Amino acid sequence: MKALLLHELRSVLAAFRRRPLVPFIATSMLALGFAANVAVFTVISRTLLRPLPYARAERIVVPTLTFIGPGQAEDPGPAGSVELVQWKLRSRVFTAIEGVRDVYMTLRDRGEPQGIAGSTVTGGIFRLFGVRPIVGRDFAPEDDVPNARVVILSHGCWQRRFGGDANAIGRTIFLDGKPMEIIGVMPRGFEIATVDRQPEIFVPAGFSLANMPTPTSRGYHVFGRLRDGATLQQGRGELRRITADLGREYPATEQRLSADVQDLREAGFGKQRHALLVLWLMVAVVYVLACVNVASLLSAQIADERGITALRLVFGAGRWEIVRYRLLQTLITTLAGAVAGYALGRLVLRVVLANVADPKLTNPVEHVWVMPLFLLAVSLVTGIAVGLVPALRETRTRLTSALSEQSTRMSSSVRATRLREAFIVTEVALAVPLLLATAATIHQFRALQQTPLGFDTRNVLISQIVVSPKYDKVARARFARELIRRIEAMPGVETASTTTCFFTPGNTMTTSVGSDRLPEPMSVNLRRITPHYFRAMRMPLVAGRAFTDGDGVDAPPVVIISASLAKRLYPNENALGKRVLRAPPAAPATIVGIAPDVYDEGASVELQPTYYSPYLQTNNIYITIVVKTKVDPLTLREPVRRAVWSLDRDVTPSNEAALADLMHDAIGNERLQMQMLTGFGLVALLLATVGIYGMTSYAVASRTREIGVRLAFGATPRDVIREIVGRAVRSVSIGLLAGALLSLVVQRVASALIYAGAKLEWQSVVAIGAVLFAAALVAAAVPSMRTRAVQPVWLLREGN
Amino acid sequence: MPLIELNHVSKIFQTEEVETHVLSGVDLAIERGEYVSIAGPSGCGKSTLLSILGLLDVPTSGEYLFDGRRLDQLSLLELAQIRNQKIGFIFQSFNLIGDLSVAENVALPLLYRRVATADRDAAVAEALYRVGMGHRAKHYPSQLSGGQQQRVAVARAIVGKPPVLLADEPTGNLDSKNGAAVMALIHDLHAGGATICMVTHDPRYAEHADRTVHLFDGNLADRDGVLHGVGSAS
């Protein structure tokens, strides 16, 4: 038995050596299919499948605050300090509720101050996650007080800045000018699930019921740990009740709020899931296309080797031996494809993720055995699925007909012809929805790229600073005015301004406003700007005036609102000169200008009604400096830094970038998705084209004798070409029709998933149809053209 | 004037190293309505000669006149028209097209003659009836026995009523009963006025012909084996 198996293995390998083209093509096609799977499965395993690095992570949930504005859907967002503290105090379903808020800090240790991503956290956050510092200690209750002077470092920060020195514990660093003692270091790989930019440093928030920061100051990522036996629904219900009570108790600030609670994995990877599901679906189709190609190749090979199989049966091979031989053949092919696909997939992933900053995607896979096991399983299933059916059919070979077919062979059987046509139809039908989805995504991305943002991104430098909390409102206004004066005095600067917009998607300040016509408040984007903002951004006002230096703390409150907000607040009226009602204690403000609607968070974020307030009147510690330059904006990075430091050595500019680059990066996720979809689409197109070409050429080759017969009975070469090409065109047409119907079904069933609102363009349908038709036409026309050059008798003989 | 006339026709197959003279200066004339059988041992060039007669191949040298027309000056289209309208083929290996039904196979010559559907269907039904296969019109070749397939092939050869019928070992793959039935069909066609040229190595069937032409090493010979051309394989 073992000897027989070895003999068969040797003969399979010998057959591969004798006729390497078929196994090479089959392996290559499978490798492409596997590579696509490896790339996507790796990303999925690093995100959706990876176990969360927290103790009993299934008990951790993510409460969010939802705003119920007039005519607005509930939009979950970060909670504020009031909600966080009240939820903590009043909840019975949770054993702990803690919060994390992103902050930019200026760190001064040795040398120049540096901007650093940090977090203010409530004291029990690490205990909630069940993670302890690996060096030093956790925050104690007495640390979580106002003006706390202790910090915990991330593992990365500890390694980079202190070389992993355990003696860093107890050292003092300066954060925003304040001395802070390092008390601990978090373990390697610790991250906060829902936070995009992982903090390097953790500082206690230090607030309580007695010491509450500004009530409207929201931005806390809240985490809760459910009591044993409590469900997510119970948690949600409880937080909604508490939030409703808060609305009654604090109507000025907590009205129209509600709460939601999400599963931690959903909250952390919900956004990626959509993109990954799309990619997974696409690679599945790509893989099926590869399998269809291999199956068609194998069928063709089995048909060619019918005589050999018959001889093996004559000499005593049993049914099982025939099946085993074929299965060995396909399994070796699929395993080789899996190995090659694994290598190719890793390479592709490395190239694609080279510019991706998301640590969730670039982290190494934790279970390295998952991928090889996955590939082994898929290749075995594929080998059996692709090889078994034709192998079983092969065992039913009629010996007499197989051995005598040399003399009385019919050119092609109905079943063989239908099988070949079915392969082509399947290839096309599967490829079409995938290619259309790719085309739609590319089209959508191109539209995104070409979306007029509403401002001029050229020659604008963006730089972010966090003004030290030691400044009060008046001092911050003075700081901003002086900073802008100094920057505008620099050579190469046309004008400068500040804003509180970060120019990145999903990172925005909001507030609630109403009007005399709209007493119910609505949520709007809030931008606190200095007078030259619209000039620096080249945003001509629709009506009214820009802010001036006169719009200061002591001046009457004024605002500029976007055109869409003007329509909402004062429908069918001129909003200029009218009032905007703001959350108390802020007094109503007069509308002095109407600004155009702009995509200042990038083209992928929907246009939001926006409210501009003079920074000199209402401000906070976050400032984004906007510098319109006459030169390359990045050349002014250092001069701007020096201008900031000339005012305060403890304020450090960070995230300096050209506005054009920020807007380019703002659609980075869409770009990555588009690139991956395009890659898989191209692979699908390649597989479909190769498959159609291969099957059509094989069909023409197997009809050589038929062509001879047709010529013998009076067909002209033109008739023959028409007949052959016509058949190929018919198969591709049926496939295109089936593919178009499939696309409609897919679009109807999963339009949000596949097309994400993108419209199918008729140009894409025509282009895809043309490529597939071209493949079929070339494959059919080239061999059929031979009929013009050779005598019919040769075709009759060749068919033997 | 003979319907078919070959003058000093030679056919040489050339490969990289070997030049094979399959036919060497063959002279042959076949009169209208004549029934000629071509006999000879395997490899003597019978099928090659029949292919040239049927315009499926061209001679390397010599002259071929069909119905008085020199064929070496005709275009591919004109040759196709002659094959379609003047010649019917019966092959040893039947050469039916597997994914066409019996009726569609038989209709093939009429299809290329652009005959209207109704006329074509009538002609196909008549031809199938004539060979006793009318009840199998909708079947596929794979559903027929060898004898039935060859009868369908005969129907296809005669459906366009060509004046010349070329048959290459038409009974070669049939048992004696089916072979006799096919030969009877060919005999009937000849009786109906068709010119028939048949390759066979079976002396029983060769005797059906008015005249037997013997081929030996690419040359015509008389019954006594005297060669009428000079040639050799080299």
pLDDT tens for each residue of A97-121 = 999 888 878 787 766 677 788 888 9
Interface test with B, best of A396, A401, A408, A723 (most B CBs within 10 A): A408
Which is higher by pLDDT, B138 or A761? Answer: B138
Give residue A51's pLDDT band: very low, low, confident or very high (50, 70, 90): confident
Q: A713 contacts in B (CB within 8 Å)?
A: 83-84, 89, 108-109, 112, 156
| DSSP category for residue A140 | P
Query: Which structural domain range is residue B169 located in?
Result: 33-55+75-221
Contact A448/A667 with Cβ under 8 angstroms? Answer: yes
Helices (H) and strands (E) in chain A, counts: 24, 23
| The total number of residues written for chain B in this structure | 234
Residue A732 pLDDT greater than 80, yes or no: yes
Is the CB of residue A305 less than 8 Å away from at least one CB of chain B?
Answer: no
Tokens of A66: 């939802």
pLDDT tens figures, A628-646 = 999 999 999 999 999 998 9
How confident is the model at residue B233, as a pLDDT? 32
* DSSP classification of residue B227: B
Element (H, E) at A279: helix A264-304
Q: For position A410, what pLDDT does the model report?
A: 52
Asked if the model's pLDDT at residue B16 lies above 80, the reply is no
Tally the domains of chain B. 1
Q: How much is the pLDDT for A26?
A: 86
A 237-296 residues with CB < 8 A to B: none
- The H or E element spanning position B72 is none
Helix ranges (H only) for chain B are: 46-53, 76-86, 102-112, 117-130, 146-158, 176-191, 203-206
What does the pLDDT average to over A55-79? 73
Window from A135-149, A489-503, B116-130 with minimum mean pLDDT:
A135-149
**Phi then psi dihedrals of residue A514, to 5 deg:** -140, -170
Q: Which of residues 163-222 of B touch A (CB under 8 A)?
A: 172-173
pLDDT of the residue at A408 = 47
**A303 at interface of B, judged by CB pairs closer than 8 A:** no
What pLDDT sits at residue A406? 45
Nearest alpha carbon to residue B85 among B153, B31, B32, B163:
B163
Q: Residues of B with CB below 8 A from A710's CB? A: 97, 108, 112
Asked whether A338 and A383 are in contact (CB, 8 A), the reply is no
Q: Do B112 and A713 touch (CB under 8 A)?
A: yes
Name every chain B residue with its beta carbon within 8 A of the beta carbon of A405. none
> In this structure, is residue B210 part of a structural domain?
yes
Predicted confidence (pLDDT) at residue A317 exceeds the cutoff of 80: no
Tokens of A222: 């809240």
CA nearest neighbour of A731 among A767, A695, A698: A695
pLDDT bracket for residue B31 (50, 70, 90): very high
Is residue B27, in this structure, part of any structural domain at all? Answer: no
- Interhelix angle for A717-754 vs A414-450, to 10°? 50
Which has more confidence, A24 or A208? A24
Chain A's closest residue to B82, CA to CA, is A714
Contact flag B140-A414 (C-beta cutoff 8 Å) = yes
pLDDT of B82 reads 92
> Is A716 touching B (CB cutoff 8 A)?
yes
pLDDT of residue A675: 81
pLDDT the model gives residue B42: 81
Average pLDDT over residues B45-70: 91
Please say if the pLDDT value at position A452 is more than 60: yes
SS3 A564: helix
* Domain of residue B164, CATH code: 3.40.50.300
The per-residue pLDDT of chain A, averaged, comes to 82
Q: What is the 3-state secondary structure (H, E, C) of A184-243?
A: EECCCCCCCCCCCCCCCEEEECCCECCECCCCCCEEEEEEEEECCCCCHHHHHHHHHHHH
Is A694 within 8 Å of A21 (Cβ atoms)? no
What is the average pLDDT across A245-254? 79
Rounded to whole angstroms, how far apart are CA atoms A585 and B35? 118
- Cis peptide bond prior to A557, omega within 30° of 0: no
Determine contact: A714 vs chain B, CB below 8 A.
yes
Residues of chain B neighbouring A706 (CB-CB closer than 8 A)? 97-98
- Find the distance separating the first CA and the last CA of chain A, reported in whole Å: 37
Helices A717-754 and A762-785: crossing angle, nearest 10°? 150
Three-state DSSP at B126 gives: helix
> How far is residue B25's CA from residue B227's CA, in Å, rounded to a whole number?
11
| Burial of A72 from C-beta contacts in 10 A (0-12 / 13-18 / 19+) | exposed
> What would the mean pLDDT of A408-417 be, rounded to a whole number?
62
Q: State the nearest Cα–Cα gap between B83 and chain A, in angstroms.
A: 5
Q: Give me the phi and psi of A30, to 5 degrees please.
A: -65, -35
Cβ neighbours of A796 in B, within 8 Å: 56, 91, 95
Contact B77 A716 (CB under 8 A): yes
Query: What pairing do the DSSP bridges indicate for beta strands A610-614 and A558-562?
Result: antiparallel
DSSP A145: S
The reply to whether B194 falls in a domain is: yes
More confident residue, A240 or A400: A240
The answer to whether the Cβ–Cβ distance between B94 and A410 falls below 8 Å is yes
pLDDT at A207 over 70: yes
More confident residue, B141 or A409: B141
Rounded to a whole number of angstroms, the distance from the CA of B92 to the nearest CA of chain A is 8
Partner-chain residue, chosen from B51, B146, B160, that has the shortest CB–CB distance to A793:
B51
On whether residue B37 sits in a domain, the answer given is: yes
- Mean pLDDT lowest among A332-336, A473-477, A597-601: A473-477
Q: What mean pLDDT comes out for the span A372-377?
A: 84
CA A336 vs. chain centroid, Å, equals 31
> Is the pLDDT assigned to residue A592 strictly greater than 70?
yes
CA distances from A778 to A589, A721, A772 (A): 71, 11, 10
Q: In whole angstroms, give the CA distance from residue A674 to residue A678.
A: 6
DSSP-derived 3-state class of residue A611: strand
Residue B125 maps to a domain? yes
Among B83, B94, B112, beta carbon nearest to A408: B94
pLDDT at A543 over 80: yes
B97 vs A408: CB contact, 8 Å cut-off?
no
Q: Quick one: average pLDDT of A697-719?
A: 82
Tokens describing residue A316? 């005593």
How many angstroms separate the CA atoms of A614 and A780, rounded?
71
Q: Which of B78, B95, B182 to mutate to test the interface with A (most CBs of A within 10 A)?
A: B95
Give every CB contact of residue A28 below 8 A, 6+ residues apart in sequence: A337, A340
Closest among A760, A769, A746, A765 to A688, alpha carbons compared: A769
Query: Is residue B104, in this structure, part of any structural domain at all?
Result: yes
Using a CB-CB cut-off of 8 Å, the residues of chain B touching A715 are 80, 84, 108, 112
- Residue B212 domain-assigned? yes
- A792/B146 CB distance under 8 A: no
Residue B230 to chain A, least CA–CA distance (Å): 25
Q: Among B56, B57, B97, whose Cβ lies nearest the Cβ of A706?
A: B97
Q: B residues 110-169 near A, CB within 8 Å?
A: 112-113, 140-142, 146, 149, 156, 160
Residue range A229-257: average pLDDT? 86
* In chain A, residues 386-445 whose CB comes closer than 8 Å to chain B: 407-414, 416-418
Is 70 exceeded by the pLDDT of residue A169? Answer: yes
Residues B137-155, mean pLDDT to the nearest whole number:
90
Dihedrals phi, psi of A563, to nearest 5 degrees:
-60, -40
Choose the mutation target among A410, A703, A713 for the interface with B, i.e. most B CBs under 10 Å: A713
Which residues of chain B make contact with A711, given a CB cutoff of 8 A? 56, 80, 83
DSSP sequence for B7-53? EEEEEEEE-SS-EEEEEEEEEEEE-TT-EEEEE--TTSSHHHHHHHH
Report residue A74's pLDDT band, with 50, 70 and 90 as the boundaries: very low
Whether the per-residue pLDDT at A383 is higher than 90: the answer is no
**DSSP per residue over A60-72, as a string?**
EEEEEEEE--TT-
Query: Cβ separation of A793 and B57 shorter than 8 Å?
Result: yes
Q: Is the pLDDT of residue A562 over 90?
A: yes
User: How far is B47 from B132, CA to CA, in rounded Å?
Assistant: 28
Mean pLDDT of chain B: 86
Using a CB-CB cut-off of 8 Å, the residues of chain A touching B108 are 709-710, 713, 715
Higher-pLDDT residue of A139, A510: A139
